């Protein structure tokens, strides 16, 4: 129980820390000496990718996230080593692998969530929309607005449902009530939660069920209009019904968002993703179309892992 | 070894055993036809229900494994392959039972196989391809699979030659139609056994490599058409 509470606080703290950091950074940028904040380049998506693996295969479009020889170190220990992979827009990419293989490290590197951990270092290139996220001039606020994150445990703020979603837009300076109403409704619609909560938007978010809380967190992440959504085991604390709803939501969202999901549930990766990457001991072992990886993987280690022979 | 792998190994063993039973059924049916032993032929037909029951049980176990373990990769391919091979073996057993049932007609039509050396070659080839197939199951060997697929061409050739011989001989006789029908039905069953063994061989290749080699030409033409359109 205590451990649970601690985990919940840790992940809640992380979101609050990230958002507070965003808040302060924004305030700083309004101050007379703003920090240099080059805008992220606009996405250069050549072709819209279909939501089906069949459509995926035929598509040749610009990747939205490119990783080339990317390393991430915790002190002297490498969390991930030499990761080279392209993540494509408007598709779901799943990262699977045994515990400690670096999948969360890689995911959290994409929006530099790992910066919150002291004594860490990145090397190589990890770019979102062509911009290396580890360059010094990168504005973390802009980056995290573009690359939203959903955590393992639902972590709504201890505020009303409305305020949870309006939090990000308010940070962006939107004050007009009618505009906020519009955003909240749209995000709740997009997160498939509107019908369930439309009459009780003032209710505390903490009164929602676990599954509803997680969809609220997704709605909250959508409110800043991200291009990419990172999901770190988003269903591991949910029951099968809530998991089903979140998976359905992931499938729906992939028409407009790029989703990268880390999951321990292999069937979930198989069900929701277009591409799957298998990590082991900090290295990328295999990356390909999900239907190929789960029916006929090319690497023996991948096969051993997905069939439960090791890991 | 995980529980799933343990259970899969057991199903594979059952399938192997079923293959041997089917092989025996075909040998018995052909012997009965040759000897004109109606009773032995009926025996093969009656024993077919054992193979039918085995087929159902193997399929039930495969469905249970799919539902309980949600297998992937080699495990998934293995279950799919077992379901298909199970079905094909059962159909081979049905064909053997059909030969057993027709022994009665062989006797009634006073057919002497001595007049048809071609039938012996065909029967021998059918037994050989089934034997190769069953042994390939035990070893899940994809190199034998290619040999099985090639061997089926030989069976088809024997079949066509045999049908020509029957039509030439029986077709000219008065009242030879029944005998011709019986002979051609027997030969057709053997020719079908060759086809089903080919299916099994193709399934073994899929199990080993993940490649579907069935209808390769049609699939190629289809994808060419798609490119063209």
Kindly determine whether residue A297 and residue B76, on different chains, have CB atoms separated by under 8 Å: no
Please give, rounded to a whole number of angstroms, the shortest distance from the CA of A71 to a CA of chain B.
Answer: 30
Q: Are A258 and A64 in contact (CB under 8 A)?
A: yes
Confidence of residue A12 (pLDDT cuts 50, 70, 90): very low
What would the mean pLDDT of B90-113 be, rounded to a whole number?
Answer: 94
Confidence of residue A37 (pLDDT cuts 50, 70, 90): very low
Please give, rounded to a whole number of angstroms, the shortest distance from the CA of B137 to a CA of chain A.
Answer: 20
| Tens of pLDDT, residues A94-116 | 999 999 999 999 999 999 999 88
Phi-psi category of A292—alpha, beta or left, where left has phi over 0 and alpha has psi -120 to 50? Answer: alpha
Chain A residues inside the 8 Å CB shell of B77: 295-296
Kindly determine whether residue B75 and residue A307, on different chains, have CB atoms separated by under 8 Å: yes
Q: How many domains does chain A have?
A: 1
| Tens of pLDDT, residues B38-85 | 999 999 999 999 999 999 999 999 999 998 888 999 999 999 999 999
What would the mean pLDDT of A77-83 be, rounded to a whole number?
Answer: 95
Highest mean pLDDT among A11-15, B25-29, B117-121: B25-29
Please give, rounded to a whole number of angstroms, the shortest distance from the CA of A279 to a CA of chain B.
Answer: 17
Residue B14 pLDDT > 80, yes or no?
A: yes
Residue A23 pLDDT > 50, yes or no?
A: no
Residue A32 pLDDT > 80, yes or no?
A: no
Please give the pLDDT value at position B138. 84
Asked if CATH classification 1.20.58.220 holds for the domain at B3-215, the reply, yes or no, is yes
Neighbour tally for B193: CB within 10 Å? 28
Name the pairing type of β-strands A120-128 and A65-74. Answer: antiparallel
Residue A127 pLDDT > 70, yes or no?
A: yes
- The verdict on residue A70 lying in a domain is no
CA distance A286 to A275: 11
Please give the pLDDT value at position A8. 46
What would the mean pLDDT of A171-185 be, rounded to a whole number?
Answer: 94
CA distance B14 to A248: 40
Please give the pLDDT value at position A283. 96
Kindly determine whether residue A295 and residue B73, on different chains, have CB atoms separated by under 8 Å: yes
CATH code, A247 = 3.40.50.300
Sequence-distant (≥ 6) Cβ neighbours of residue A60 within 8 angstroms: A46, A47
Residue A51 pLDDT > 50, yes or no?
A: no
- The verdict on residue A125 lying in a domain is no
Reference A265, options A237, A301, A299; nearest CA is: A237
Residue B111 pLDDT > 50, yes or no?
A: yes
Q: For chain B, which residues make up each domain, given as ranges?
A: 3-215
What would the mean pLDDT of B144-156 be, rounded to a whole number?
Answer: 94
Average pLDDT, chain A: 84
> What percentage of chain B's residues is helix, strand, coil (to nearest 5)?
90, 0, 10
Pick among A269, A309, A310, A311 to test the B interface (most B CBs inside 10 A):
A309
Neighbour tally for A281: CB within 10 Å? 14
Kindly determine whether residue B72 and residue A307, on different chains, have CB atoms separated by under 8 Å: yes
Please give the pLDDT value at position B143. 85
Kindly determine whether residue B76 and residue A295, on different chains, have CB atoms separated by under 8 Å: yes
| Tens of pLDDT, residues B203-215 | 999 999 888 888 8
- The verdict on residue A247 lying in a domain is yes
Please give the pLDDT value at position B68. 86
Kindly determine whether residue A295 and residue B5, on different chains, have CB atoms separated by under 8 Å: no
Kindly determine whether residue B73 and residue A267, on different chains, have CB atoms separated by under 8 Å: no
Q: Are A198 and A237 in contact (CB under 8 A)?
A: no
Residue of higher predicted confidence among A149 and A28: A149
Residue A63 pLDDT > 50, yes or no?
A: yes
Only one residue has tokens 């399938």, namely: B15
Q: Is A251 exposed, middle or buried (0-12, 13-18, 19+ CB in 10 A)?
A: middle
Residue B137 pLDDT > 80, yes or no?
A: yes
- The verdict on residue A67 lying in a domain is no
Q: Is A55 on the interface with B (CB under 8 A)?
A: no
Kindly determine whether residue B70 and residue A296, on different chains, have CB atoms separated by under 8 Å: no
List the single residue in B with minimal CA-CA distance to A291. Answer: B73
B74, B209, B210 member nearest A307 (Cβ): B74
Please give the pLDDT value at position A238. 84
Kindly determine whether residue A309 and residue B2, on different chains, have CB atoms separated by under 8 Å: yes
Residue of higher predicted confidence among A57 and A249: A249
What would the mean pLDDT of A280-306 be, rounded to a whole number?
Answer: 94
Kindly determine whether residue B73 and residue A307, on different chains, have CB atoms separated by under 8 Å: yes
Half-sphere exposure of B51 (CA within 13 A, CB side): 28
CA distance A171 to A254: 26
List the single residue in B with minimal CA-CA distance to A297. Answer: B73
Please give the pLDDT value at position A247. 92
What would the mean pLDDT of B11-37 be, rounded to a whole number?
Answer: 96
Please give the pLDDT value at position B229. 66
Q: From residue A80, how far is each of A71, A73, B28, B170, B190 by CA, in Å?
A: 5, 7, 63, 78, 59
Average pLDDT, chain B: 92
Chain A residues inside the 8 Å CB shell of B76: 294-295
| Tens of pLDDT, residues A192-218 | 899 999 999 999 999 999 999 999 999
B interface residues, A as partner, C-beta within 8 Å: 2, 4-5, 70-77, 209-210
Please give the pLDDT value at position B34. 93
CA distance B24 to A4: 62
- DSSP letter for each residue of A206-271: GGS-HHHHHHHHHHHHHTT--SEEEEESTTTTS-HHHHHHHHHHHHHHTTTSEEEEE-S-HHHHHH
Neighbour tally for A309: CB within 10 Å? 17
Please give the pLDDT value at position A245. 87
Q: From residue B75, how far is each of A304, B78, B81, B87 by CA, in Å?
A: 10, 5, 10, 19
Residue B167 pLDDT > 50, yes or no?
A: yes
Residue of higher predicted confidence among A7 and B185: B185
Please give the pLDDT value at position B3. 84
Kindly determine whether residue A295 and residue B75, on different chains, have CB atoms separated by under 8 Å: no
Q: Which two tokens stand for residue B26?
A: 């075909």
What would the mean pLDDT of A272-289 be, rounded to a whole number?
Answer: 96
Phi-psi category of A111—alpha, beta or left, where left has phi over 0 and alpha has psi -120 to 50? Answer: alpha
What would the mean pLDDT of A274-280 be, rounded to a whole number?
Answer: 96
Q: Is A298 on the interface with B (CB under 8 A)?
A: no
Confidence of residue B222 (pLDDT cuts 50, 70, 90): confident
CA distance A87 to A128: 9
Please give the pLDDT value at position A311. 55
List the single residue in A with minimal CA-CA distance to B73. Answer: A295
């Amino acid at each position: 129980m205590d451990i649970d509470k601690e985990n919940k606080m840790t992940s809640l703290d992380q979101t609050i820390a990230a958002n507070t950091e965003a808040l302060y950074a924004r305030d700083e940028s309004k101050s007379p000496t703003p920090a240099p904040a080059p805008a992220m380049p606009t996405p250069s998506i050549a072709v819209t990718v279909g939501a089906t693996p069949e459509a995926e295969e035929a598509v040749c479009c610009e990747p939205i996230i490119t990783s080339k020889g990317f390393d991430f170190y915790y002190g002297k220990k490498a969390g991930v080593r030499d990761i080279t992979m392209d993540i494509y827009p408007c598709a779901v990419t799943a990262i699977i692998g045994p515990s400690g293989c670096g999948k969360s490290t890689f995911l959290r590197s994409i929006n530099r969530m790992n910066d919150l951990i002291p004594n860490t270092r990145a090397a190589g290139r990890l770019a979102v929309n062509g911009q290396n996220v580890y360059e010094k001039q990168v504005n973390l606020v802009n980056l995290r607005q573009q690359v939203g994150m959903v955590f393992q445990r639902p972590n709504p703020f201890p505020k009303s449902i409305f305020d949870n979603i309006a939090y990000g837009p308010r940070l962006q300076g939107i004050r007009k009530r009618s505009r906020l109403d519009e955003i909240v409704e749209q995000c709740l619609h997009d997160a498939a939660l509107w019908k369930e909560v439309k009459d009780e938007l003032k209710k505390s978010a903490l009164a929602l069920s676990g599954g509803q809380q997680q969809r609220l967190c997704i709605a909250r992440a959508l409110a800043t209009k991200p291009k990419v959504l990172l999901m770190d085991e988003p269903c591991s604390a949910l029951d099968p019904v809530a998991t089903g709803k979140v998976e359905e939501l992931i499938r729906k969202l992939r028409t407009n968002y790029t989703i990268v999901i880390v999951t321990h549930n292999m069937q979930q990766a198989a069900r929701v993703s277009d591409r799957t990457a298998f990590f082991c001991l900090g290295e990328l072992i295999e990356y390909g179309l999900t239907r190929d990886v789960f029916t006929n993987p090319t690497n023996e280690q991948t096969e051993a892992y997905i069939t439960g022979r090791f890991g | 070894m995980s529980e799933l792998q343990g259970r899969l190994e057991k199903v594979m063993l059952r399938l192997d055993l079923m293959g041997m039973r089917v092989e025996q059924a075909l040998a018995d049916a052909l012997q009965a036809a040759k000897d004109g032993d109606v009773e032995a032929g009926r025996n093969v037909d009656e024993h077919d229900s054992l193979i039918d029951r085995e087929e159902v049980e193997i399929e039930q176990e495969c469905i249970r494994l799919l539902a309980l373990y949600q297998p992937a990769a080699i495990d998934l391919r293995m279950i799919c392959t077992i379901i298909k091979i199970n079905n094909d073996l059962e159909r081979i057993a049905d064909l053997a039972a059909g030969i057993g049932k027709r022994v009665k007609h062989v006797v009634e039509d006073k057919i002497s196989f001595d007049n048809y050396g071609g039938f012996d070659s065909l029967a021998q080839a059918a037994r050989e391809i089934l034997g190769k197939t069953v042994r390939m199951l035990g070893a899940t060997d994809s190199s034998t699979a290619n040999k099985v697929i090639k061997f089926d061409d030989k069976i088809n050739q024997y079949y066509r030659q045999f049908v020509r011989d029957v039509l030439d001989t029986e077709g000219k006789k008065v009242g030879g139609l029944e005998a011709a029908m019986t002979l051609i039905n027997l030969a057709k069953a053997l020719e079908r056994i060759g086809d089903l063994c080919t299916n099994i061989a193709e399934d073994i290749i899929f199990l080993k490599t993940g490649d579907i080699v069935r209808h390769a030409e049609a699939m190629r033409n289809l994808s060419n058409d798609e490119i063209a359109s």
